[in-house]
Amino acid sequence: MNAGAHEIVIVDDEVKPAQVIAEYLQHAGFRTAHLLDGPSAVHYIRQAAPDVVILDVMLPGLDGMEVCRAVRGYSAVPIIMLTARVEEADRIRGLDIGADDYLCKPVSPREIVARVRAQLRRAGGTLAVTAHTHGFVVDEAAQRISWQGHALPLSQVEYRLFKTLLSQPGRIFEREALLNAKNLAERAVNDRSVDCHIKNIRKKMKPYTGDTEYIFSVYGVGYRFLDG
């Protein structure tokens, strides 16, 4: 198996179906890991940063919905949910909490492989900031930042400021450093207007992230993105 291949994590307490899926994925050139319960999945995904997660809804410990919600707190990894439930409300709920795709059992392993490849193609055009970024994704090609699939309506200056903060979670950026990010100083952005832009970023995030604070002021210095 190619050590540089994409890693696909299968989270399913039904061993035989998961093994079949793993075999098809391995035959297609992927590396795989198989986890049997929700808590193990949350821990493993945080530590291993896989490329795609195949997540069953019915799991011991934490169900798939809870796992998806927890993972979206720190990673934008593509998540494909599997379930025997066919009700539209269940599918909508899964997508609303951050799943990227939703398949109803029984499903062909070949189709799962195709869905995994599709997710990797979509992710290929983005810079996914997965370490302690709480679901934020930076799409450099589109000059866009999204949170759990929702594109934030940022101006170009706001995009560059926020991207800089996201690049190093927990680091305190002085206002001068933010001014220098991506030549912002050349765009007549002054020290005081940095504060105004940060205020606007927070305002534009609020409809999606609610009352959760992600950007913190450091009195007399500058700003930092939450280090989760």
Residues 141 and 99 in one domain: no
For 141-151, write each residue's pLDDT tens digit.
Answer: 667 888 877 88
pLDDT(57) > 80: yes
Concatenating the DSSP letter of every residue in 64-118 gives: HHHHHHHHTTT----EEEEES---HHHHHHHHHTT-SEEEESS--HHHHHHHHHH
Helix (H) or strand (E) holding 218: strand 215-218
CA distance 175 to 125: 30
Last residue of a domain, one of 63, 96, 123: 123
Q: Are residues 24 and 118 in the same domain?
A: yes
CATH number of the CATH domain containing 83: 3.40.50.2300
Is the model's pTM score more than 0.75? Answer: no
Number of domains in the chain: 2
Q: Please indicate, yes or no, whether residues 24 and 116 belong to a single structural domain of this protein.
A: yes
The set of long-range contacts for 188-192, using a CB threshold of 8 Å and a minimum separation of 24, is: 189/157
Q: Return the bridge partners of 7, or none.
A: 31
Residue 157 lies in domain = 136-225
Residues 163 and 203 in one domain: yes
Do 117 and 154 reside in the same domain of the chain? Answer: no
Beta bridge partners of 139: 144
Instruction: Tell me, yes or no, whether 187 lies in a domain.
Output: yes
Is 53 within the bounds of a domain? yes
**Which domain-ending residue is among 91, 123, 155?**
123
- pLDDT tens by residue, 30-54: 999 999 999 999 999 988 888 899 9
| One domain for residues 108 and 158 | no
Residue whose entry in the numeric block shows the structure tokens 């075999």: 23
CA–CA separation, 224 vs 206, rounded Å?
Answer: 17
